[in-house]
Every structure is written in structure tokens, then in C-alpha cells.
Structure 1
Amino acid sequence: MSKFSSYGEDEKRKFQATGYFRLEQDHEKWCLVDPEGNAFVTIGVNHADESNLKYDHNFEIWKKKYGSRENWIKGLSKDLKDWGFNTIGWTGDYISGDWGIALDWFGDPINLGHSTSWSAADYKYADMPYCLQIRVAEFEDWNGQPSYPDVFSHEFDMYCEYLARSICADHTESKNLIGYFLVDIPAWLPHASGRDFEVLKDLNEKERSSKLFEVASKYYETITKYIRKYDPNHLILGDRYNGNKGIPEEVLSAMKPYVDVLSVQYFTSPNEEGYQKMKKELSSWQKFTGKPVILADIGNWCQTCMNPNRVSEIKDQSGRAADYIDSLSVILDEPWFLGWHWCAHLENKARGWGIKDPYDEPYHDFINPVKEFNKNVYKNIYQKV
């Protein structure tokens, strides 16, 4: 019988313990290593936020079942561990509006109202591995009014130092922090709104390519030097790139000297063709950068009572579970794959899907097969190593 460490992974693959999460490459296989020296596959959940239980339709459930943020977080932590998840991923959530008016990444973006990220105290209540975001700039693909900073300015340099100092100070000694994400699906390709970095406007294709590399290089250099200044102990996971839209090679070249992990959001079509396309593109970006990969945001959906217009090729919760397992099985034993973070925890009116329904009950037809898959990940990955 396998023995599991306090971080939730099989203890059969051991490395030197350093007290913090780090990377190792063993027999061409990339591994996250936990503070105790065990190989770790990050199996996370994104968008875990109590705001999803504070709508008119479920506020009474939150009051009666939890009554405080601390109690809710402890309940969440128990849920995740019971389901075979071991990481708290990106914690901001889309909470405003209804799905019927939500964004189209490839069309007209809207302003998405997001909840705030967790505090350092929140992560202590949870007491499990987690990732933090440092939002260096506000030029996300989902942002209806993106703001592109002048990365060469003294003001940007000062702002990056402030961000790193203010965020990293509370986490630098954390044994549970895996590392820092930067911007969520940043618009390195032209934004749907037409906005762009000022220095890239009116350039021809060749000029833009050269200048984009300079902009991205300065962006990564500036923020990462301050993260490492105030926290030399944890990984820099980089931007959560929008894999469905594409990632410019100039940006990938720029990030290589400064970022430890290639983090990609990718929502695949629920079929073998879609799974293989995801694998091919992740593999290509990985080969180009030489970095191990975290699938930093992946999810699926089907029609529900609250979101009947949330249609896809997936017909029900059992279909969602099958897609979860099939999509991840395609890349599970790739030597560059470090794990995945699932979107999302609890269904709301704005985002439109989750592991739990809007009344805080798990979708059992989804989570039961997923739980079994999650808890067998180490056997499935390392049986061939």
C-alpha cells in the first residue's frame, strides 16, 4: 500500500528535502518536489471563493453551514482533500452578471467583476499547498478596458517593487506556497478591444515582433527581480497564458531567463481530436521554452438548472467527469507535465459551472469518478518511470 506524505503525494519518489517547493529533473522527467523531498503532482482547484455562496439564492446556506470565512475555508480544504485535490489554485472568481452576457475572448470583451484574492491568513486556515497571483498589469484578454503599462518607465519599476514587497513579505517563509503566477491570460497578442502597448502601435509585423520581445523581456525582468529579492525561496510560475488564443514566440523567448514554469490555460474540445491538439500545442511550447508545464486552468461544462443556456458537446455531469479523465490522461505521463488546476469549485450565475452546484452540494456524477482518478495519479504517472 502506498504511503502518502503530509502534502498528499506518494512517498516512493524521494529527493533532498529543502523546506520549500522546488523543481527537479530526474531521468528526463520533470518533478515538482515538496518541502519534505517528495515528488509532487499539483492537482488544484481554481476560483474557490466564498462569494459564490453569498448570492440571494444561497446566502442562508452560507450562514447556517459556515457562518465565517475561517469555517468556510476549513470546509473547502476538507472537500478538496476528500476529492483528491492537493492545491489551491488561482482564487479570484468572476462574480458579476450572468453567463448570457459574458465575454468572448475572440470578440468584444466586457468588464468582468472579480472577487479579491485570498489573504495570507486565509491560506494558513486552509493549510494545504497553494499558488499566489501577482497581477503585474491589467491587460487580460477578459478585461474590457485593458491597461498596458510602460514597462520601460521608472514608475513601472517602482510599482513592481511595491507589488513584490507587499505580497511576498507575508509568504516568503511559507512551507505551503508553491509559487507565484503573474497575469491571468494576458493579451500579448492584440487585444479584442484594439488596445495595445503604446510602443507597439503602428508598427509593421517585423518591427512589432522585435519590439514585442523587448517589451516582454523588460516586463519579466522587472517583476521577477523583485519577487526574487523579497522571496528567494519559491518558484515563479509566470503568466497563465491563453493557450486557446495562442502564445507569441517572442514572449516565450523573453520569459525563458526569468520564469521557472510554463503555465498555460487551455480549454480543450471534449473529444480525442481536441485532446491531441492540446497535447501537441503544449508539447510545442514546452520544447520551445525548455520549461516544465502546469496546465494552470482547464474546465468543462454542461447544462444545469441554474445555467440552462450553458451548452456544450457534454450532455451531463457524468460526461463532464469522462472528459476530465480523458483530457488529462492524454498528457498525464508526459515528462514535462507537473499537474493541473481545475476550473472551478462552486457553480455561480456568472461563471456558470463548478464541482458543486449553486447550493453547495457536489455534483456526485462528476466528482465520484474524478476523485478516483485524482487519487490514482501517482500510480498512473510513475508506473512507467
Structure 2
Amino acid sequence: MKYLVLLLFLAACSRPATTVEYDNYGGIKSIVREKTGFFRVDSTAGRWLFVTPEGHGYFAIGANHTGKFLEDSSQSGPYLARFDGDSTKVREDLYQNYLRLGYNAGEAYGQHDPYLKTKLPYIAHLDYPQSDYLKIDIFDKENQQTLYDHTVAQCQPLRDDKMLIGIAFRDLPAWNKRRMDVVRSLPATAKGKERYLDFLLERYGSDLASLNKFYGSRFSSFSEIGKTEDWKLAAENEKTAKDDADFMAQIAEIWYSTLRRAVNQAAPNHLFLGERHQLRDTPDAVLQVVGKQVDVFLTQALIRSKQRPPEWQTFQPEAYRHEYELTQKPMVIVDWATPFSLGERFDSEHGPIKDEREAVRDIATWLDELTELPFVIGHFKCQFIGSHANDRWFEGKAKRTTIKDDGTDFDVMSDEIAKSQRKTLQKVYQKAKK
């Protein structure tokens, strides 16, 4: 009898493992949805997913800043040296590393590497007509047209790109007091200043005393508010924050509808992803407006705080659930990181920096918790390779990448990230099939 049991066991062990098949865009073939020829989103049985151009379910796992790394020879020099300066071979090796380490998507914002854009689905990065975008008075119809035309021009080359997941704009947009201080400082003749004065009149009526009380101001009339060009609040309180949020929602209505119209006009087959909002920084009133316009909501993982590394290393499901409740749109987390020490763990002014093995455990936990949120349809890590501006905090003693700058693996990080990311895909797709 024991030999029969052994034979049955050996027979079971000898059976080939079930092969998981993916399409040309990384979609899993066992999840079939309507084929449209471009990326779209789909919700079945409460689980959101991207759908590839070939009609298969797809959860995006990407990493940012590779294009920036390749453009900077001071960073990519060691990698190039391994391939005798042949940048083509470096790019092909990077692509193979993406696949080997569990990535099925490229980058979520620029600068994008042209080679990777042809190999891995990516999110386009568009900019605004001027770098100081806060000074665009969107209530001025001429400025609306300029924003529209500028967006159309950038979208037109993307129109038929099937590798494009969707079209996105600025990272960490300032939907906060900074934007409103610009509005308050507009000249009296500006359309935005006129709209803001109308807003205050509607909200406070003739009660100028209450406005002065909440705003800490000494205006003698509402007309004086309209003429004041150097009005910046020293501090916020609950009342001014509510006023600012409600007025920014009016700005967002025009801003996002203008962007949406431009994307629909020039690249009608592509998803509109809006801006990459910082977690817990955009007011609820604005997020509700955003949800009416975007196809997918993009959110950062960090919070404005000196303690960024510990926050990055902790998944924050309640914050993501809150964003989903407001937007009701599937979500991609576009930048998350787990800084780890290149030697022994150490304490920095930005919090404790863990060693490689501890950081790997944090990553595994982060990804595992992510799979429990049915509205999250992808994530893009900060970052795959190279240095990030914030690494200066750690004076070269820490990194946040999947592989080393010469393209070789870390002792622990690389292999364990690959395992965790493949497990993530497996769990998401299993849940999507139920």
C-alpha cells in the first residue's frame, strides 16, 4: 500500500505545472473581456482591471525613472561599461531585467525611454503650457483655449499607440493653499479674481465682518478685496480651508473638463488619467470633481511629511479607500518606495532606514495588502534603477531600486521583489476570476 501511495505522489509531482499564458501586452489570457484594440478598464463582480488591446485582463506592475537614468551618463556609466558602451545592449538588458523581476509595465512618467515604450505598456506624461501652471487663470477663455490646444498637440502623436495605457499630467499638483494664494493675488481685471470675488460675495453676503474674522483681514469693503493683489493668507483655519476647497472645485471643473475634451479630441481611444494626486493632500471637493472626469484615478503613496520613508513603507488602505469613495474610479498607485540601507540599518532625520532584508519584508506586506483593494489596478515603483533626488537625504547610504546601477542584482532585494510581484499578479487574477 505504501508503494502505491508513493507512486501516486511521484506521478503528481511529475505532472507539468499549469502554464500561465499572457498576450502581447502582458494581459493574462485566462481572463477574457471585450477586445477594443486599445487599453481600457473593466469592472466584473466588483473587481476592477485594465483590459489590454487584445481583450485580456491586466494588472499593471511598473517602475519609474528608467529613462531619466539612461539619459544621465553619471548614473548609467557603470551599466554602459558592462556592455562596452553599447547603449542598445544596455536597453535590451534593462528590458529583460524588467521581465525577469516581475514587471509587466514600463514607466508612469517621464522622461520615458523610447525603447522601453515599444516593449512595455506605459503611462504618457504631458505637461502644461507654462512651468508655473498655478498662474494659469483658467477662468479666462483664452487660457482655456491655450491649455486645450497645448494638450491636443501633445496627444496627437499618441493617438494610435497601442502600448499606451493612458494619458496623465502633472505629478503632485498643488490643489492647496499655494494655488489659492495665487488666485487671491491676481489683478483686479483677471477673470479668476472676478470669479473669486463673486464666490466670496455668495458665501458671506454683506457680512464682511465675518470674512475679516476668519481670514484675519481688515478689508473695508468687498470691492477692496477685488483690488488687492498681494493678499496671501498667513495661515489656514477650518473655515478658510473649506472656502478654498470649494473654490478649487470650481477651478477643477474647468481645468479637468478642458483636459478631458482635448484628450477625447486628439486621442479618443485612450484613457484619461488626469494628474497624480498626493495622498491626503487634495481636498475632497476637488477629488469628487476629478472622479467625474477621469477614467482612472492616479494617486501617489507619500504624504507631505519629514517622515516620508516610514510612510512609504506602510500601506495605507484607509486613505486609498477614501479616495475611491470620492472618485468611484479604479486607481493606480504611481509612485511608492521602500528606501533601504546599503549596509547596516541607520536612523536619519527622515526616520529609520531598514536593512535590505527588513525592507523586503515591508515590500511583501505592502504588495499583499494592495491585492485586498479591488479598485487598485496597478502600481509603479519608485524606482527600477538609478538615483532619486530624495536619495540625497541619505548621503549615498541608501537606495530604493530593484537592481544596482550596473544592472546586477542586489543580494536579497532583486529576487524577493520578483517573487512578491509574481505573487501579487497571481492573487489579483485569482480574485478577478471568482
Q: TM-score range by the shorter chain?
A: 0.7 to 0.9
Per-residue CA distance 1:11-43 (angstroms, 9 max, x = gap) = 211111111110111011111111111110010
Q: CA 1:90–1:68 in 2, change beyond 3 Å: closer, same or farther?
A: farther
The equivalent position to 2:57 in structure 1, one of 18, 32, 39, is 39
Question: Which residue is equivalent to 1:355?
Answer: 402
- Contact 1:86/1:129 (8 A) holds in 2: yes
Per-residue CA distance 1:35-65 (angstroms, 9 max, x = gap) = 1111100101011125467454752642552
Question: Which residue is equivalent to 2:99?
Answer: 81
User: Structure 2 length as normaliser, TM-score?
Assistant: 0.72
The equivalent position to 1:368 in structure 2, one of 402, 415, 423, is 415
Question: Which residue is equivalent to 1:293?
Answer: 331
Aligned equivalents of 1:54 and 1:324: distance in 2? 28
Q: How far off its partner does 1:180 sit?
A: 1.0
Q: How far off its partner does 1:247 sit?
A: 2.0
Q: CA 1:367–1:330 in 2, change beyond 3 Å: closer, same or farther?
A: same
Does residue 427 of structure 2 align to residue 380 of structure 1?
yes
Q: How far off its partner does 1:280 sit?
A: 0.4
- Contact 1:53/1:61 (8 A) holds in 2: no
Question: Which residue is equivalent to 1:333?
Answer: 372
Q: How far off its partner does 1:366 sit?
A: 0.8
Per-residue CA distance 1:81-135 (angstroms, 9 max, x = gap) = 111111112343xxxxxxxxxxxxxxxxxxxxxxxx237x5455x4211111112
- Contact 2:180/2:244 (8 A) holds in 1: no
Q: How far off its partner does 1:376 sit?
A: 2.7
Does residue 304 of structure 2 align to residue 266 of structure 1?
no
Q: Provide the secondary structure at the position in 2 that maps to 1:32.
A: strand
Question: Which residue is equivalent to 1:101?
Answer: none
Q: Provide the secondary structure at the position in 1 that maps to 2:80.
A: helix
Per-residue CA distance 1:201-244 (angstroms, 9 max, x = gap) = 6684454233211111111011111011000011111111110x
- Contact 1:178/1:234 (8 A) holds in 2: yes
Question: Which residue is equivalent to 2:23?
Answer: 5
Question: Which residue is equivalent to 1:284?
Answer: 322
Question: Which residue is equivalent to 2:261?
Answer: 225
Q: How far off its partner does 1:181 sit?
A: 1.3
The equivalent position to 2:289 in structure 1, one of 254, 274, 277, is 254
Q: Provide the secondary structure at the position in 2 that maps to 1:313.
A: strand
Question: Which residue is equivalent to 1:164?
Answer: 151
Aligned equivalents of 1:326 and 1:27: distance in 2? 25
Aligned equivalents of 2:356 and 2:378: distance in 1? 22
Aligned equivalents of 2:413 and 2:335: distance in 1? 18
Out of 286-295 and 358-367, give the one that drifted further.
Answer: 358-367
- Contact 1:52/1:348 (8 A) holds in 2: no
The equivalent position to 1:118 in structure 2, one of 112, 121, 142, is 112
Does residue 195 of structure 2 align to residue 148 of structure 1?
no
The 5 A counterparts of 1:41-60 are: 41-49=59-67, 51=69, 54-56=72-74, 59=77
User: Structure 1 length as normaliser, TM-score?
Assistant: 0.80
Per-residue CA distance 1:155-185 (angstroms, 9 max, x = gap) = 4323323332332222211111000111101
Question: Which residue is equivalent to 1:238?
Answer: 274
Aligned equivalents of 1:74 and 1:329: distance in 2? 30
Q: CA 1:79–1:162 in 2, change beyond 3 Å: closer, same or farther?
A: farther
Which is greater in Rg? Answer: 2
> 1:136 is aligned with what amino acid?
Y
Aligned equivalents of 1:168 and 1:314: distance in 2? 41
Q: How far off its partner does 1:379 sit?
A: 2.3
- Contact 1:302/1:312 (8 A) holds in 2: no
- Contact 1:137/1:147 (8 A) holds in 2: no
> 1:166 is aligned with what amino acid?
A
Q: How far off its partner does 1:347 sit?
A: 3.1
Question: Which residue is equivalent to 1:23?
Answer: 41
Question: Which residue is equivalent to 2:165?
Answer: 178
Q: CA 1:212–1:350 in 2, change beyond 3 Å: closer, same or farther?
A: closer
Q: CA 1:50–1:5 in 2, change beyond 3 Å: closer, same or farther?
A: same
Query: Structure 2 unaligned runs (5+)?
Result: 1-17, 187-192, 197-230, 234-239, 303-307, 392-398
- Contact 2:75/2:387 (8 A) holds in 1: no
Q: CA 1:81–1:155 in 2, change beyond 3 Å: closer, same or farther?
A: farther
Q: CA 1:138–1:294 in 2, change beyond 3 Å: closer, same or farther?
A: farther
The equivalent position to 1:135 in structure 2, one of 127, 130, 136, is 127
Q: How far off its partner does 1:324 sit?
A: 1.3
Question: Which residue is equivalent to 2:359?
Answer: 320
- Contact 2:331/2:377 (8 A) holds in 1: yes
Q: CA 1:79–1:156 in 2, change beyond 3 Å: closer, same or farther?
A: farther
Out of 75-84 and 159-168, give the one that drifted further.
Answer: 159-168
> 1:373 is aligned with what amino acid?
S
Aligned equivalents of 1:296 and 1:57: distance in 2? 23
Q: Percent identity?
A: 20
Out of 218-227 and 371-380, give the one that drifted further.
Answer: 371-380
Q: CA 1:195–1:67 in 2, change beyond 3 Å: closer, same or farther?
A: farther
Aligned equivalents of 1:272 and 1:73: distance in 2? 29
Out of 21-30 and 69-78, give the one that drifted further.
Answer: 69-78
